[in-house]
Structure formats: structure tokens, C-alpha cells
Chains A and B, each alone.
Chain A
Amino acid sequence: MSQQASVLANIQEVRAMIKRHKMHDTIFAIIGLLALMVGLIALLTLFIDLVVDGYQRFNPEFFTNFPSRRAAKAGILSAWVGSVLVMVVTFLAAVPMGVAAGIYLEEYAPKNWLADLIEINVSNLAGVPSIVYGLLALGLFVYTLDLGQSILTAGLTLGLLILPIVIVSTREAIRSIPIAIREAAYAVGATKWQVVFHHVIHYSFGGILTGVIIGMARALGETAPVITIGALTFIAFLPPSPVTDVAPFINFEWLTSGFTVLPIQMFNWLSRPDHAFHINAAATGAIIIVVTLLMNGTAIWLRYKIRKNIKW
């Protein structure tokens, strides 16, 4: 009888314990959810606030007008064209170098203290404040290499800025490929280059692309390094077109042109006394957020799509 009672008591104790532990689970889930919400709601509030302030400027003229002293007539043409051209240079500078460096570190580099040192440094570089890259670029690109305060300088600067992001994400993408794939390729007689080119790069493409796009989205919103190298504020003409109607049909003059970018235009409008310009700033901010979200969304979608197509 007493034995039965003690078993019963035991069961109750165990049940109470399970209940307690489940409660801990729930509490943690709620804390986690709240933590997630803080970020999401902050972004959402900010975005809605910008849209509410700036929605009256969302019309075609806003995208096709140059900056002006009349807030209602002022547009972001030179800013968005500048942003796009700078992004092109950033892409060309950061992606080949970053992907090559990532592949080398992961596939070729001997595992020794030097590789460890490089690895630590690359991770550290990703955390260096962007203004430091601006100062480096001012000394190196603008003065030492004499590239001027140009689109080329800005693109290379932002390229350097996102290089660590590209390298790290390339390595992570490569690491996620099962070792069995490599071994299988070697087993049928593939050389190292063939393994890397046909399998490693091929299968990690989605992951690499994600890293690249996220890096580009960060570069798009950067202001400090671009101001440091001397981006302009008022520029009411476009750089020379990269495509011409006479042979050889492309020219590189635009690379040396002065420029401004979206965040700088926004910053300038925000610091004006006239409230009408603050509306323009809000509209520009909303556009930057939308483009950034679109880029990140594309990255997620591409990764999903490419992963789905890979059949091992």
C-alpha cells in the first residue's frame, strides 16, 4: 500500500517537473519571440514612418529630376544613377577577388598558422568601421593612386568594404558541400581544378550569390566612407554614358566622373532647415530600404531556387 503511495507521489513529482520544464520552454520561446519582434517592429515602424512622411514624393518625376532648391521639384536622378554605377564597380572589384580568395582559403591554402592568421584577419576586417575604409581609400585611391573623387574610387572603396563579407560567405557556402561529393569526383579521376570548378563552385553558387547580394545591399546604404572620399552633394548632370553610338561602343569616362549616392542625398536633405526637404529625405530613405529589402529577398529566393535544383 505504502509502496503504491510512494509510486503515485513519484509520478506526481515527475509530472510537476515536466510541467515546470515545459513552462521554462514556453517562457524562453516568448522571450525569443519578443527579441525578434524588437528588431522587426523597429524596422517596420521606421519604414512606415518614412513612407507616411514621404509618400507624396513617390512619382516618376522624383526619379527623373535633379536636385533643386525647390523641394517639390527636387529629385534623386543623379543620386540613384550614381548609386547604380558605384555598385557596378563595387561588384566587379569585390566579387572576383572575394570568391577567388574564399576558394583559395578553403580548398588550396595549407592549414598552418599563416592560414589561421589570415582567417582571423578576414573575420576582423568584416567588423572594421566603414569610416576606416573611407580614410584608407582617401589616402590610397584619391591621393596615392590619384584616381580622384570619382565613381571608380567609391566603387573600389565599397568593394574593399564588402570583400570580407564575400570571402566569409564563399567559404561558408563551400564548407556546406558534403565531403563525399569531392571524394566521388576524385575517385573517378578528376583533378583538383576540375573538382573545384565543376562541383564546388557549381554547388555553392547559391550561397556565394547570397553573400554577394547581402554585401552589395550593405554597400548601397553606406554613407561615411563615400563622404570621406569626397562625394558631391549637388550634381545636376549625369556621368558620361558607358555605352556610346560610335565604335568601340563602350567608354570608361564615367569611371572618373564626380557623383553622389542615395544616402548622401538623403543626409543632405535631412539637415536642411526647410521641412519640405525632410519629406524628400523620407521618400529617399523609404526607397533605400525597399531596394535593400528587395536585394535581400532576391538573395533568399535565389538560394532556395538553386538549392532545390541541386540533386546529389
Chain B
Amino acid sequence: MNNTFSKSFGIAALVVAAFSALPVQAAEKIIRIDGSSTVYPITEAVAEDFQASTKTKVTVGISGTGGGFKKFCRGETDISQASRPILKKEMDACKEAGIQYIELPVAYDGLTVVVNKSNDFVKSISVDELKKMWAPAAQGKVKTWNQVNPAWPNTPLKLFGAGSDSGTFDYFTEAIVGKAKSSRGDYTASEDDNVLVQGVQSDKGALGYFGYAYYEENQDKLRALPIVAKKGATAVEPSVENVKNGTYQPLSRPMFIYVNATSGAFKPEVKAFVDYYLANAPKLVAEVKYIPLPANEYAAVTKHWKALKPGTGFDGVAEVGVKIEELLARIK
């Protein structure tokens, strides 16, 4: 009976069995990197040059900061890119798996608040005003610009921002609302910053935020708002200089790579790659239109790397506005 079926099934089973019997990972020198798509362009540039000069294979994925840490703490990747510091639960996951990591800031980003080109009534915006717009309490209530500041007209306020899975969202909410992941939900969210650019560009009453690189590339279509950090402070506009010298606050954020430095699993090619990363970061970071750290900070990061001190300077809290040298000094 059922001749065709058993025969075909037998063949199919054989095929599957033959595939499954293969060695799962070829023992080859491959450096595996995954994580934030924001940091990705920098890592891609480094990986491209490193691979060309050393012939060591490098692969880079974009699972997002959170997704990257999940893999990292299972030991599946050698390096994790992150647009925010490692969180408590991720630290616990790594600890449980016995994974030690070295936290290295590699570049800055300035989260940029933008409005439509034809918006002529907002000259600058304060953190308090941003909080009024973005706090969870504003949901369904703050709908026009004059509700935020009476000096502004009664124009509908349309908000555009990062999706809740991104490190950008975590950092913005921490810096503005005061608590990570705490935001109103009734805004247009997208993980793709180009969608946000288009949204703000086509709506007169729009306000949005995203990484500085996206603003720089679209300066002709959008206007960035200078930020007033505290009452009485002067408004600081987002620019490479202001981010570098630390005056653009609180929206300047460092971006990191986390290197798996578990003893025994610490491969020499990974060490060579990170050496290369830090040595070439000043040039490559600027080339992919991100903001490099100042020279003294790169020196501090390199020193920290050479000392191979595992741990994080944040202790699971996404702190805002902390200086990199201070951060590194915390790790004993």
C-alpha cells in the first residue's frame, strides 16, 4: 500500500537526517558581532577595514540593543553593540551564564529634536516643555502647541519618535521624562528613523526626535531645536562641537560596544579586532557621520581596554549626562 507516500517520506527523512548530521559550527576564526542598528554603521566600517587587512572574518547583525544582549549573554556573539548601557536584567543574564564583558564607549550621538521647516514660532525648547509633551500623563490630553507653552499658537501637535524596542527610546525617555521606557503612547513610532524624517517633514505641527546623523543628512528638510537643559540656562543647539564638548545636554549619549572577555573564551582575534576598533574609531566614526569622542576620552577608553577591566560603570541604570572618564573610573 501507500507506496509513493512511504517512499517519498523515506527520502525526505533521509535528506533531513543527512543535513542534521553535519557539524554545526565549522571551527574557523570568525568574529561574531550583533546588537544595535544605531551603532551598526561604525562597526560595519571597522569590520570592513579589519577584514581587508587581516583576513579574519567578521559578521555583524542588527538584532537591536536588547536582542544583541540576549545573544551576547548566551555566549553566541563576541561583541555586542549597544546604544544604551547594559540593563540590570541583562547583567543578571550574563552573570548567570558566567559571561564577563568589558564596556567600551566608542562614539557619541546627539539625540536631535526636530520640527517642520515652516514652523517659525518655536526658537528653542526646554527639557520641561519636552517632558510636558512626552510624559505618559500627556497621553490624549496635550494635543496643541499652546498647551505646552502659552506663547505658542493653537496648532495641533503631532509627535514622532522611536519605537519602544530601541535604545534611542530608552535614552530619550530617561533623559526627558526621567524614567526609561516611560512615554505617552499616542505618537507615531517607528524603528526606522527615515520614516520619522518624512513624518516631520510633511506635517506643519510636527515634532520628532532621532539620532544626529539623520538630522545632519536632512538639514534642508527639517529644523533642529536648541535645547534648554534647565531653567535659566542658555539654549544649546545640536552640533558635532556641542556634543563633543559636553554642552549639549541632556540628549548627548555615548554608544558602546561590549566585548566578551570571559577567561578561556577570550579569543586573540577578538582582541586584535577591538585594538583595531579603538585605534581607527576617530577616523571611521566621523566618516560614517557619527560624532567621535574627544582625543583624551579615546585615550582613556584605550587605557581601560588595555587593563581588561570587566564590568559596567552604570550598574544597570541608564544614567544621563555622565562623563566617560568618570564612568570608566567607576569600574574597579
Hey, which bits of chain A sit against chain B, CB under 8 A? 66-69, 92-93, 96-97, 99-100, 103-104, 107-108, 145-148, 150, 152, 156, 192-193, 196-197, 230-237, 240, 252-253, 255-258, 268, 270-275, 278
Contacts and interface: CB of A to CB of B under 8 A. Distances in A.
A104 B216 contact: no
A163 B94 CA distance: 38
B211 A273 contact: yes
Nearest to A192: B3
Of A69, A108, A240, most B-chain CB atoms within 10 Å: A69
Given A256-B23, A271-B37, A108 B193 contact: no
Contacts of B48: 66-69, 234, 236
B19 A240 contact: no
Interface residues of B, number: 51
B59 A104 contact: no
Nearest to A257: B26
A236 B44 CA distance: 10
B4 A258 contact: no
A274 B217 contact: yes
Contact of A96 (B15, B213, B214): B15
A148 B24 contact: yes
A147 B289 contact: no
Contact of A100 (B9, B34, B62): B9
27 contacts: A68-B48, A93-B15, A96-B12, A100-B5, A100-B12, A103-B4, A104-B4, A104-B5, A145-B20, A146-B24, A193-B3, A193-B4, A233-B60, A234-B40, A234-B47, A234-B61, A235-B60, A236-B48, A236-B51, A252-B19, A255-B19, A256-B22, A258-B30, A270-B192, A273-B211, A273-B289, A274-B288
Given A233-B61, A236-B58, A272 B22 contact: no
Interface of B: 2-5, 8-9, 11-12, 15-16, 19-20, 22-26, 30, 32, 34, 37, 40-41, 43-45, 47-48, 51, 57-63, 71, 191-194, 211, 213-214, 216-218, 284, 287-289
A152 B71 CA distance: 19
Nearest to B197: A273
A232 B4 contact: no
B24 A273 contact: no
A192 B5 CA distance: 12
Contacts of A146: 24
Of B22, B30, B59, B193, most A-chain CB atoms within 10 Å: B59
B330 to A, nearest CB: 32
Q: Which 4 A-B pairs have the closest CB atoms?
A: A100-B8, A234-B60, A69-B45, A273-B213
Nearest to A236: B51
Contacts of B63: 230
B40 A233 contact: yes
Given A100-B12, A271-B37, A235 B5 contact: no
